[in-house]
Amino acid sequence: MRDILDVITSRKSIRRYKPDPVPDEMIDKILEAARWAPTGENHQPWRLIVVRDPETRRKIGEMAKIGSGIFTTTEYCMGRMRQFEGIKDPKKRERVERFMYTGEVSAFLGKAPLLIVVTGRCDALDTPYDLSACAENMLLEAHSLGLGACWVHGPVAPIRGEIKMKELLGVPQGMEKFKLLAVLSFGWPLEPRKHPRPKLTLEEIVYWEKFGRKERPSYV
């Protein structure tokens, strides 16, 4: 059996796709992967909306742009978007910042051949965690099939975005009824996969026995 770690460590978010459709058998496999994610008390609150209609995808792309623009600008105003300050070239930095703060970063949803909107009943405290596990399963399955995929929170990040998306897709309104976690996009990657984005090392993120303790104690 292929080590799942190979799939996990070679996945990266793909935002540019060929226009070719995703075959039905692949869609079914991605959905099947969702179904097997763990959930608090095996609650399985998820409801997944598969969107292929071009007009609906176009509208979701517009919502994604607006939503991500609002979200990233708000984050910036709250002092939480400082990562671009590391870009030395001022022209490049301006380009990247404009891409983020206009929401252009998420507009690609309109061009993705397949979207899966991850929503779930809000009748348990675990719902957001359950839905996240389900979304990750789908991203990994898509990657193992050679597809590109991306998790996009932007369109549903602002409350108004979530309300509008619910209107568009006929999801019952009311924060207490359903949560829209994210829109996942899928398609054949337009260009060869570049190396995955850099990640923190285990050294940086793992503590042993107590918070902050970096030495690994030996146990026999």
Ligand X SMILES: Cc1cc2nc3c(=O)[nH]c(=O)nc-3n(C[C@H](O)[C@H](O)[C@H](O)COP(=O)(O)O)c2cc1C
Q: Fill in the DSSP letter of residue 110.
A: G
Nearest to ligand X of 27, 184 (CB atom): 184
Q: Which stretch binds ligand X (CB under 6 A): 8-16, 33-41, 51-59, 87-95?
A: 8-16
Nearest to ligand X of 197, 214 (CB atom): 197
Residues 144-163 that bind ligand X (CB under 6 A): 150-154
Least distance from ligand X to the Cβ atom of residue 68, Å: 5
118: nearest Cα among 188, 61, 35: 35
3-class SS of residue 176: coil
Among 7, 8, 12, 81, binds ligand X (CB under 6 A): 12
Among 194, 195, 197, 210, binds ligand X (CB under 6 A): 197
Three-class secondary structure assignment of 22-65: CCHHHHHHHHHHHHCCCCHHHCCCEEEEEECCHHHHHHHHHHHH
Residue count at the site for ligand X (CB under 6 A)?
13
User: Is residue 13 at the binding interface for ligand X, with CB under 6 A as the rule?
Assistant: yes
- Site map (CB under 6 A) of ligand X, residues 59-98, x = contact: ---------x------------------------------
Nearest to ligand X of 19, 196 (CB atom): 196
Among 196, 206, 208, 213, binds ligand X (CB under 6 A): 196
Q: Are 178 and 172 in contact (CB under 8 A)?
A: yes
What does residue 182 show for φ and ψ, rounded to 5 degrees?
Answer: -170, 170
User: Is residue 106 at the binding interface for ligand X, with CB under 6 A as the rule?
Assistant: yes
Least distance from ligand X to the Cβ atom of residue 128, Å: 10
Distance CA 127, CA 129 (A): 5
186: nearest Cα among 108, 135, 114: 114
Contacts to ligand X by CB under 6 A: 12-13, 15, 68, 105-106, 150-154, 196-197
